[in-house]
Amino acid sequence: MKHANDIMSKKEKLKKLILRQNSGLILRKLEALNREIRNCKKCPLWKLRKDTVPGEGPINAKIMVIGMAPGRIEDKTGRPFIGPAGKLLDQLFKIAEIKREKIFITSSLKCLPQPPINRKPKKEEIKACLPYLEKQIEIINPQKFILLGEIAFSTFFPKKELRSFRGKWVKKDGKKFFITYHPAAGLRFPKIKKTLEKDFKKIRRIISF
């Protein structure tokens, strides 16, 4: 019996060692990608940015939340969704019973669109930034995505209309996507804020940690 327990103990130790090694490899890949993003000059946005905003969250996140682009505050700090829209997003996370520290948060663009500040991203800017988002997905490998707004939605579902998919889970390439409005729209329009709250209640029924 003791011999069998010793074998199991060794197997568990080996399993933990492999997990640590894999986690270390994933972290190094993500850090390398973040350095590449910080040095990016693929489009003119680099000339005016104060900082890049690659995203943040655990390297083994099961859920990735994707927005449009950093705002003014995010551009100053290098962190995603910490401005007014981010505060609303935190409230929505509470409705969905999602812990922010357990998900990876990023955007289709890693730089503030300007001038003017917070304008809609141009197609060439989205195209230039897309490989970074694709690499993040490859490295982290989340199984579920929450797409916030038209830009994030069209990145994965080109030539589709958000209104036809809003509030729904959609399967694509073996992964699940939940589509809803961007929190910034909820700040401007009370009706959209109520819709966001309803949508995140739907998310709560599907997601569990």
Which CATH number belongs to the domain containing residue 51 in this structure? Answer: 3.40.470.10
Share of the chain above pLDDT 90, in %: 83
Global pTM?
A: 0.89
Of 134, 106, 132, the C-alpha closest to 43 is 132
Count of domains observed in the chain: 1
Q: How far is CA 201 from the centre of its chain?
A: 19
- Domain residues for the domain of 187 are 2-206
CA–CA distances in Å: residue 23 to residues 16, 27, 114, 139: 10, 6, 36, 11
pLDDT tens figures, 116-150: 998 999 999 999 999 999 999 999 999 999 999 99
Q: What are phi and psi of 66, to 5 degrees?
A: -125, 125
